[in-house]
Structure 1
Amino acid sequence: MKLASIDVGLKRIGIAICLDGKIVLPQNAIFRKNRKQAAHDINAFLKEWEIETLVVGLPKGGSSEEEMERRIKHFVSLLALTIPVVYQDEQGSSFEAKELTMGDFRHKRDGRLDSVAAKIILERYLDSPKADR
């Protein structure tokens, strides 16, 4: 099964893919000019890679959990997908991505960190018991 995950942010959307159920690879992040453009770019990416399930990171815990969940689910609704969407806890994924890449990236705003966070989200999903493959 071909899977992709996204880490939705206000400026960038990190993306990772898994084509064999084992190895997760971060991809180039999508920069958000507006929601419509970002949704179009995500849809094109999913179609190009023939993705069968989309895993979306959702923050659990924290003071803005409800607001972020509402924004992320609204963005996902703009995708108008015909494939299953699964939500995965993303808590701490951005911090973990920073720790993993400490010293590797000079430019923090190029989206690579966001895609490493998406990679972590997809790996968590694959490691979870709910990942029926």
Structure 2
Amino acid sequence: MKILAIDWGDKRLGLAMSQDESWAFPWKVLKMQNFTQTIEELSKIVEAENIERVVIGLPIGLDGKDTKQTSRVREVTADLAHVLNVPVETIDERLTSAAAEKLNLESGKSAKQKIDAQAAVQILQTYLARRAK
């Protein structure tokens, strides 16, 4: 099953993909345009890449409580579920950006865009690990 993971941000969306449900790879970073254009672009990606499921990182605070971004991502998830012809779900993304930043620092990379895509990888790896149980 081909899965697309999204690290949804205010300025950029980090995207990662899995083609065989065993590993995830960073795919690309989309610059956030207006909401409608971003949704249209994601819809085109899902169709062109034959995506069968979309997983979006849900930003929950370290204390387990919703943040102001949590409700925004829930709205986005609901909107995408209505537009895309594939299942759309969320997964707790706590610490994915921190883990992605650490990986980039260890590899000598520092660009924020790479961190966004790597955060999407962390989201997708978490999702795949939970499905494997």
- TM category (shorter chain) comes to 0.7 to 0.9
> Residues 13 and 30 of structure 1 are in contact (CA less than 8 Å); yes or no, is this contact kept in structure 2?
yes
Match of 2:109 among 94, 97, 105: 105
Partner of 1:15: 15
Partner of 1:71: 72
Q: State the percentage of identical aligned residues.
A: 29
Which structure has greater helix proportion?
Answer: 2
TM, length-normalised to structure 2: 0.87
The CA deviation string for residues 26-78 of structure 1, in whole angstroms up to 9 with x for no partner, is: 11111002111111111111111111111110012258824212111222333
d(CA) in 2 for partners of 1:36, 1:78: 10
> Residues 24 and 123 of structure 1 are in contact (CA less than 8 Å); yes or no, is this contact kept in structure 2?
yes
d(CA) in 1 for partners of 2:66, 2:30: 23
> Residues 16 and 122 of structure 1 are in contact (CA less than 8 Å); yes or no, is this contact kept in structure 2?
yes
Ranges in structure 2 where 5+ consecutive residues have no aligned partner: none
Q: Secondary structure at the match of 1:28?
A: strand
2:104 corresponds to 1:116? no
d(CA) in 2 for partners of 1:90, 1:57: 5
Partner of 1:127: 129
RMSD: 2.0
Q: Which moved more, 1:76-85 or 1:94-103?
A: 76-85
Ranges in structure 1 where 5+ consecutive residues have no aligned partner: none
TM, length-normalised to structure 1: 0.87
After superposing on structure 2, the runs of 4+ consecutive aligned residues of structure 1 that deviate more than 3 Å are none
